[in-house]
Amino acid sequence: MTPMPEHLRQATRARTEEAEKRARAALAKTGKPISFTAVARKGGVSTDFLYWSPELRTRIERHRAKSGPVPAATADPPVAPSTSASVRALSARLTRQQETHREEVARLRQALEIAQGENLDLRRRLARYEAD
């Protein structure tokens, strides 16, 4: 794999730092109750970004612990591993592969039926030939 050029690495770092700043500011501005969803909306970042940032996740969880339980209407949904972009991409790839395999199995079954029909026809011919 080719290493990432330095200018792309710097741009990624700058984008991440900017998103972290927005999330920190949103955390300070978000009223009670504190939730990952509320901070993400206020800061213009994804909840996935917040969950994957150890520092931000810890701060949000600490604020939530101080402020008490979050009412069900504003509570964050449980973190599902399928929310990650890589998992979604792999799921889509797997779905395409399954469809390809289904089509291949259907073609093979059809070829098998044809071969079995030809085999039956040849056996009948052989039986007639041997009977004569």
Q: How many angstroms separate the CA atoms of 111 and 109, rounded?
A: 5
Give the pLDDT of residue 82: 46
What is d(CA 34, CA 27) in angstroms, rounded to the nearest whole number?
8
Domains in the chain: how many in total?
2
Whether 16 and 66 map to the same domain: the answer is yes
Q: Name the residue type at position 45.
A: V
Structural domain boundaries, residue 121 = 83-132
Residue 76 resides in a domain: no
- Residues 4 and 66 reside in one and the same domain: yes
pTM, two decimals, is 0.47
Concatenated DSSP letters of 71-116: PTTTPPPPPPGGGSHHHHHHHHHHHHHHHHHHHHHHHHHHHHHHHH
For residue 42, being part of any structural domain is answered with: yes
Same domain, 63 and 110: no
> Is 45 a domain residue?
yes
For residues 88 and 43, state if they share a domain: no
Joined together, the tokens standing for residue 102 give: 């289904």
- The answer on 58 and 91 residing in a single domain is no
Is residue 38 assigned to a domain? yes
Q: Note down pLDDT in tens along the chain; length 132 residues.
A: 678 788 888 888 899 899 889 888 888 877 767 888 888 888 889 888 888 888 888 888 888 777 665 555 555 555 554 467 788 888 889 999 999 999 999 999 999 999 999 999 999 999 999 987
Give the C-alpha separation, 70 to 105, whole Å: 51
User: Based on the domain organization, do 2 and 62 belong to the same domain?
Assistant: yes
Q: What's the pLDDT score for residue 118?
A: 95
Give the model's pLDDT for residue 54: 87
**61: amino acid identity, one letter:** E
